[in-house]
Amino acid sequence: MTSNRRIVLVTGPAGAGRSSTLNVLEDAGFEAIDNSPMRMLRALIEAPGQLRPMALGVDLRNRDFSTDRVIELMADMRSRPDIDIELLYLDCDTNVLLRRFSETRRRHPMAASATPIEGIVREKELLEPVLAIADVLIDTSDLNVHQLRSEVERWFSPDGARHLTVSVQSFSYKRGLPRSADMVFDCRFLRNPYWEPALRSMNGTQQPVADYVGADPLFANFATQVKSLCQLVLPACKTEGKSHISLAFGCTGGQHRSVTLAEYLASSLSKDGWQVSVRHRELDRSKREETSR
């Protein structure tokens, strides 16, 4: 068992379940602290002689909050050999967040003089750079408090055992590489469904696109080689004491080929018993843009 101190930063849009998640982590043995000023977080993490795991709630209500500060803190702490830090991002559908604020009649922190929907959309846009570096992404849209507890406990085991969490994502090269990716695979050599009119408006989560990409003569060998590499690397990372690894597939638009490969690998690794989260950067971005219109 590693003696490194375990730190979990919990963030996401207001109303997505941060407080409930911190309660779960506290029950699991973490020291849970919410809404501390950003400038104090480093001191809390680096406090000497402290080995108890810590969960820190971070969002726009933190004094002197900025996405750059969060990204800088994560980069600095990830370089420390004595600290294992993870960023847990709680996401939620915009309409669900709107309903939650309407039911509780709470004022959105970014909508003091505007409608809640404007605050929700503005906050999600502001947090996009933080979402991009998340180690674990939990979508709470369809989760009740009991399901949320189970999901958090699945990722952050209450028995103190260390698990390697695997994040698999797709992206578009036109929008740049994901900042948090440990390994990147280029899918642009596979045939592109974009040039098939019937498939252009679809994406790699849909079976016709997956079948089209999978029928490429190079697909099977490429997918097998990537899976074999993961079978070599993931156990070694776990033995080393790493708590997370991020794998990314890129293609031109981030809609078809990379999505298909990400879905394939995530499903395959999950069947092998790995804790896997999957996200599609460009598809998620498109959903947010459609919702904000």
The percentage of the chain sitting over the pLDDT mark of 70, rounded to a whole number, equals 89
Judge if 133 and 190 occupy the same domain.
no
Burial of 228 (0-12, 13-18, 19+ CB in 10 A): exposed
Whether 160 is in a domain gets the answer: no
Which tokens belong to 239?
A: 């033995």
Taking residues 99-116, what's their average pLDDT? 69
Amino acid type, 21: T
Q: Is-contact 55 158, C-beta < 8 A? A: no
The continuous run of DSSP H or E covering 277 comes out as strand 275-280
User: Tell me, what's the pLDDT at 206?
Assistant: 96
Does the pLDDT of residue 1 top 50, yes or no? no
Residue positions in the annotated binding site? 12-19, 59-62
Judge if 150 and 171 occupy the same domain.
no
The continuous run of DSSP H or E covering 186 comes out as strand 183-186
Residue positions in the annotated binding site for ATP? 12-19
Which tokens belong to 152?
A: 């958090």
Reported as a single tens digit per residue, the pLDDT across 2-28 is: 467 889 999 999 889 999 999 888 878
The continuous run of DSSP H or E covering 260 comes out as helix 257-271
Does the pLDDT of residue 120 top 50, yes or no? yes
Q: Kindly list the distances between the CA atom of residue 107 and the CA atoms of 22, 37, 98, 99, in Å, as whole numbers in the listed order.
A: 21, 21, 11, 12
Reported as a pLDDT band with limits 50, 70 and 90, residue 279 is confident
Chain position carrying tokens 């997956």: 210
Reported as a single tens digit per residue, the pLDDT across 42-94 is: 888 887 766 778 999 988 877 788 889 999 999 999 888 888 899 999 999 98
Residue positions in the annotated binding site for GTP? 59-62
Structural domain harbouring 207: 165-292
Which has more confidence, 289 or 293? 289
Reported as a single tens digit per residue, the pLDDT across 237-253 is: 887 767 778 899 999 99
User: Tell me, what's the pLDDT at 269?
Assistant: 94
Judge if 38 and 136 occupy the same domain.
yes
Torsion of CA 128, 62, 157, 260, to 10 degrees: 0
Judge if 60 and 196 occupy the same domain.
no
User: Tell me, what's the pLDDT at 237?
Assistant: 86
Domain count for the chain: 2
Judge if 21 and 143 occupy the same domain.
yes
Reported as a single tens digit per residue, the pLDDT across 177-186 is: 887 788 999 9
Does the pLDDT of residue 196 top 90, yes or no? yes
